[in-house]
Structure 1
Amino acid sequence: MRRRGGGFTLVELVIVIVLLAIVATISVRFVTLSTGGAIDTGARQQRALATVVISEQVSRALREALPTSVRTNGACIEWMPTIAGSNYLNLPRGANPDSFEAVSLADGQAAGGRIVVYGYGGNLYNPGSPGPISPPATVPAGNGPVTVTFDGGASHRFNTNSPQRRFFVVASPVTFCQDGGFLYRYRNYGIQPGIASSLPGSLPNREVLAANLVPGSVQFQVTPPTLLRGAVVTFAFALQDADSGEVTQVSQEVQIRNVP
């Protein structure tokens, strides 16, 4: 029996609607998956870039450390940054020595900080005389021999010599420490006998170095220096995406090449 006219029957119309619905559902699902994949890829790339930035910041800071000053308790690491270094001509002598003669710093520059000689003969975080670390001192500008003077008329004796007659000028200690999901940088808190004790609680002496860390994921390990090589610091951390919960883990080694 032939159908009159050029219209559609109700059955045909329903079939068309169902087919269009199936196509639309597949298209929406495809677009959703594609968009989700692009968002996830972008989030992974941002997280990977963040890990590179964090690793580079930690590595650059640790490369400036005096090897014998690096110490850790696992979640925190502390060290004394090296400002400058040169050779001494003689070490402080006499009843109350307050200065010594040394070769001028590179380019004849001046520097201020504590003086460390050798650093293997005692605890740098328990300063005393005799000992490897001095009170605050000043290395004056100049070319040729200069007189390094301990500030405020303080006196100090070093308890050992350097095989290469080297001395370093170091700044106040710096600590990297995880607290919850953040990695903080602490400074200007002085020399403390224990690591991660009496640290500043706010800016400008406590700065956020990294965020979105997995709590408890930051781990530091120090291989002490020897007479043949510098110290090696291994550190690991994990970043977590705040939306997806996906985690990116990082582990890296840093060799500290400053030598006595």
Structure 2
Amino acid sequence: MRACSRGFTLMEIVVVILLLGVLGIYTTQFIGSGTRMYADVAAREQLMNDVRFGVERLNREVRDAIPGTLQVTSAPACIRFWPIKAASRYLQLPGSAAGSTMVAFIPALAEQQVAPGDLALVFPQGLDPATAPYACSHGNCVLQVASVTSAAPLQSIQLQAQSGLTGTQFATPSPGQRVYYADRRVSFCQQGSQLIRQEQLLASSATESNIMAEALQSASFSMESGAFNSNGEVLVRLLFSRRDEAVQFSHLLEVDNVP
């Protein structure tokens, strides 16, 4: 008896090929969709990581700015302020026409050292931080430190007028007896697609610039003049975009210790 071997017919082979083709198409689409989703999430996370440092740096520094020194512009989009070098409370302000000595507590932090050439600010309301010499709407609120003598827990600080101004007295005392010290001006600005931080010493024109974030599409800094505490609040809107992925940051920042 002869054995009979039977193979696949042409129709069966065609059907199998069609089924494998259909299965392959759906499998490819499923894998491709998952890959695209992963790539989109990875791109968004990478964008967030790239801009998080700059945004957090901006938030932290603005909150610690000296009250009354905030200034915003729209062309270019910038926010400028004086960071607090040191802060303390005073016991005595210059009280006579010839007096120039302020007695204050030594700043709490060891790294906050007051030095000759620093600017001392008392009740800095209505200050124009862009134009030197600096003065407030109510009169003199900024004096320059000439010398510092420390005898814990107090400091005796000799003050002198800024170049271009006269007088060594503050026009208005602080309600909380606060005194701030500054030696530099900081700005965060949009330059093209970058968020740039620039630092300028108040006593000179020396500047230093650093890139805080890239892929910046638009920036907006605004202050509402009619709002309560308007000189201590700034609305920040930043839009970052890369490879069709966009992230928008919107914050209302409040400066601490505003009178």
Q: Please name the residue that 2:216 is paired with.
A: 213
Q: For structure 1, which segment, 66-75 or 106-115, has the greater mean C-alpha deviation from structure 2 after superposition?
A: 106-115
Q: What is the TM-score with the length of structure 1 in the denominator?
A: 0.78
1:149 to 146, 152, 158: 158
Contact 2:127 2:134 in 1 (8 A): no
Q: Percent identity?
A: 26
Contact 2:69 2:127 in 1 (8 A): no
Q: Please name the residue that 1:68 is paired with.
A: 68
Q: Please name the residue that 2:38 is paired with.
A: 38
User: What do residues 109-154 of structure 1 show as CA deviations (whole Å, max 9, x unaligned)?
Assistant: 6323210011125434432576211235554443133211348997
Q: Please name the residue that 1:170 is paired with.
A: 182
Contact 1:236 1:249 in 2 (8 A): yes
Give, in angstroms, the shift of residue 47 of structure 1: 3.1
Give, in angstroms, the shift of residue 105 of structure 1: 2.5
Corresponding letter in the other structure for 2:257:
N
Q: Please name the residue that 2:120 is paired with.
A: 115
Give, in angstroms, the shift of residue 35 of structure 1: 0.9
Q: Please name the residue that 2:256 is paired with.
A: 257
Give, in angstroms, the shift of residue 61 of structure 1: 0.8
Give, in angstroms, the shift of residue 183 of structure 1: 0.2
Give, in angstroms, the shift of residue 235 of structure 1: 0.4
Q: SS state of the match for residue 68, structure 2? A: helix
- The change in CA–CA distance for 1:26 and 1:138 in structure 2 (over 3 A counts) is farther
The equivalences for 1:172-187 within 5 A come to 172-187=184-199
Is it true that 1:78 corresponds to 2:80 in the alignment? Answer: yes
Contact 1:225 1:232 in 2 (8 A): no
1:100 to 99, 102, 105: 102
Contact 2:71 2:129 in 1 (8 A): no
Where does the alignment leave 5 or more consecutive residues of structure 2 unmatched? Answer: none
Give, in angstroms, the shift of residue 79 of structure 1: 0.3
- The change in CA–CA distance for 1:247 and 1:116 in structure 2 (over 3 A counts) is same
Where does the alignment leave 5 or more consecutive residues of structure 1 unmatched? Answer: 193-197
Cα distance in structure 1, aligned partners of 2:231 and 2:238: 23
Q: Please name the residue that 1:240 is paired with.
A: 241
Corresponding letter in the other structure for 2:179:
F
Contact 2:100 2:159 in 1 (8 A): yes
Cα distance in structure 2, aligned partners of 1:9 and 1:222: 81
Cα distance in structure 2, aligned partners of 1:81 and 1:120: 16
Give, in angstroms, the shift of residue 238 of structure 1: 1.0
- The change in CA–CA distance for 1:227 and 1:83 in structure 2 (over 3 A counts) is farther
- Between Structure 1 and Structure 2, the one with more strand by share is 2
Q: What is the TM-score with the length of structure 2 in the denominator?
A: 0.79
Cα distance in structure 1, aligned partners of 2:124 and 2:161: 23
Q: What do you get for the CA RMSD once the two structures are aligned?
A: 3.3
Cα distance in structure 2, aligned partners of 1:121 and 1:184: 27
Give, in angstroms, the shift of residue 104 of structure 1: 2.7
Give, in angstroms, the shift of residue 80 of structure 1: 0.4
Contact 2:123 2:173 in 1 (8 A): yes
Is it true that 1:20 corresponds to 2:25 in the alignment? Answer: no
Contact 1:176 1:186 in 2 (8 A): yes
Contact 1:138 1:151 in 2 (8 A): no
